[in-house]
Chain A
Amino acid sequence: MEIYLPIAGMPVSILLLLGIGFGTGILSGMFGLGGGFLTTPLLILIGIPPTVAVGSEASHIAASSVSGLVAHARRGNVDLRMGLVLLAGGTLGAVTGLAIFRLLSRLGQIDDAISLIYVVVLGTVGVLMGLESLRALRRHRLGIRYRPSRQTLLRGLPLRVPFRRSGRYMSIVPPVLTGFVVGVLSTIMGVGGGFILVPAMIYLLGVPTQVVVGTSLLQIAVVTTIATFLHAAFNQNVDLLLGLLLLIGAVVGAQIGSRLMVQLRGEQIRFLMAGLVLLVVVMLGLNLVLPPDDPFIVERVL
């Protein structure tokens, strides 16, 4: 059964969209991430225009991260001050990301740029995660205990404030910069950015694990909400029907995913996820490298 997507301007199978939402929902429930980095490339691969995929996915991530945020806030797992500092950078990042998005659109390079940024960012994250999880797996086999260093190299920076919930006293410069970078990528790529934000908060900012997910969800929820509005208002590339169908699949998938595979250790999950990320990179990369079926592409002049 197909449904005509008003903004994408094409009919797509409802089951396919629910399935993509469900599949990425399961994975995001398992890995504790939003899953936008999988959904957006999949939408592009099934033929949704890349700009519409990015804009609509922003609305999907906004909804699913708000739902996660509510759950975490109830358990008190959100460092509000840390979240607001991240957001100061994140909001600026979202606006900057939109400006870059519009510049690339004007130059006619946005579609390729989205794929290229995906390949570079996901490729880097996938390789790093894969190597790290392999090291961790080897350590586990050898029976070595490993503790990530809580000591960060950012001691001398100004504007130090206490982050009570995280138990840290540090400069606001690193979290603002982290929020900014994630905000830019989030808006251009149509992702929440958890796959960068979570490791950055753990390893760079030294935020304790129990508040990382809740606090990162605050940043993700607000940034993708802003991104949704900016995309809709300036690019007209948010397809609400597309976002809605993905979300329905995703909320069900996430609930199932969060109950699955709890017996797997963190490094095993990270290893699987690295494989998945690299698979997406290869698929998108092939589209960029292989000669196109027809070198001429047509665009509408507005």
Chain B
Amino acid sequence: MRGWRNALGLAAVVAGGAVCGASAPAQMPMLVDLANHRIHIDAAFTGADLLLFGALDQRGDVVVRVVGPPTDIAVRQKINTGGIWLNGNRVNVGTVPSFYSVATSRPLDDIASPDLRRDLELDVRYQVSADIPEAHRAGFIRNFTRRGLYSVEQVPVKIIGGRLFRVTISLPEETPPGEYWVETLLFREGTLTHRRINRLLVERVGFESFLFDLAQERPAEYGLLAVVLALAMGVTAAEVFRRV
């Protein structure tokens, strides 16, 4: 998350400069909105599509970055121990985004210079501390990518007629609940000219949310509920089938 904050700070400076220097302040260079500002995880949740759309005042390149709530992660390497694959020592990765996806209207190399790309820390590798062994770091990113939690440049931003754009970012079935930052960057001739941030809330709702919160926050009560339910179900089943 450290990298993410740096990028925000830098982007704010760049964007601020661009806005101050703009000759037509009345006209916004870019408008952005999300089709949904809340995504609900309910009993039927199997993943969701996040639709972002916007408009440009003139042609440019658009990069959209979605960053999920921070989480603390550790990685273990499975080691063959006497013929059996057992977990090796734990390596703390530290705090990383629980979801990270970058979508671009053109390949990132064509949009921004290498220096700018590095400063913006768009690549997911910048989100993960380099202080851990490279194999573990790569293993972690591979794991999250496989689960659909991380992706870079696999999603295209579609620009229509040079003015309108839209992108659909898919959130996987194990999408972590929490507050997401959706950052839209506008590039012109290789420099960052504008930046917008939208908030997205992913939350558990309904019975799912009730059970999850109870299990996490009041485990003893949840345990009692589990026991009472199990006993009630057992006795009910015995009664139901007594006559069968």
Contacts and interface: CB of A to CB of B under 8 A. Distances in A.
Interface of A: 2-4, 6-7, 9-11, 59-60, 62-71, 108-109, 111-112, 116, 221, 225, 228-234, 236, 238, 240-241, 243-244, 247, 251, 255, 288-292, 294-302
A301 B74 contact: yes
Contacts of B142: 294, 296
Given A233-B219, A251-B237, A291 B84 contact: no
14 contacts: A2-B44, A9-B174, A66-B234, A67-B233, A67-B234, A69-B234, A70-B238, A111-B87, A243-B226, A288-B84, A294-B146, A297-B75, A299-B73, A301-B73
Interface string B206-244: 011101100110011011111101110111111111101
Contacts of B219: 232-234, 236
Taking chain A's interface residues, is the majority helix, strand, or loop, or is none over half, making it mixed? helix
B198 interface: no
B6 interface: no
**The 8 A-B residue pairs with the shortest CB-CB distance in the complex, in nearest-first order:** A296-B139, A66-B234, A232-B223, A70-B238, A301-B72, A67-B237, A63-B230, A229-B223
A62 B222 contact: no
B77 interface: yes
Interface in B37-81: 41-46, 71-80
A4 B238 CA distance: 28
A108 B87 contact: yes
A231 B237 CA distance: 24
B76 A297 contact: yes
Nearest to A259: B244
Most chain A CB atoms below 10 A, which of B75, B77, B212, B234:
B234
B25 interface: no
Contact of A298 (B45, B144, B225, B242): B144
A229 B244 contact: no
B86 interface: yes
A297 to B, nearest CB: 5
A59 B80 CA distance: 34
Nearest to B231: A66
B181 interface: no
B244 to A, nearest CB: 6
A6 B211 CA distance: 7
A7 B73 contact: no
Interface residues of B, number: 63
A24 to B, nearest CB: 15
A116 B223 CA distance: 27
B227 A62 contact: yes
A280 to B, nearest CB: 17
Given A63-B230, A71-B238, A295 B208 contact: no
A255 to B, nearest CB: 5
A201 to B, nearest CB: 21
Contacts of B44: 2-4
B84 A4 contact: no
Contacts of B226: 59, 228-229, 232, 238, 240, 243
Nearest to B94: A301
Contacts of B85: 112, 288-292, 295
Given A4-B42, A230-B223, A294 B174 contact: no
B126 interface: no
B45 A11 contact: yes
B87 A112 contact: yes
Contact of A221 (B79, B87, B174, B234): B234
B204 to A, nearest CB: 7
Nearest to B80: A291
Given A4-B42, A7-B215, 8 more contacts: A6-B215, A62-B227, A64-B237, A221-B234, A229-B224, A233-B222, A236-B222, A294-B143
Contacts of A221: 234
B154 interface: no
A15 B207 CA distance: 20
A230 to B, nearest CB: 7
B119 interface: no
A260 to B, nearest CB: 14
Nearest to B89: A108
B235 A66 contact: yes
Nearest to B225: A240
A40 B66 CA distance: 37
A65 B234 contact: yes
Contacts of A111: 87
Most chain B C-beta atoms within 10 Å of own C-beta, residue among A109, A251, A296, A301: A296
Residue with the highest number of chain B CB atoms closer than 10 Å, among A60, A234, A251:
A251
Nearest to B175: A9
A11 B225 contact: no
Nearest to A62: B230
Nearest to A4: B45
A7 B214 CA distance: 10
Contacts of B46: 2, 4, 11
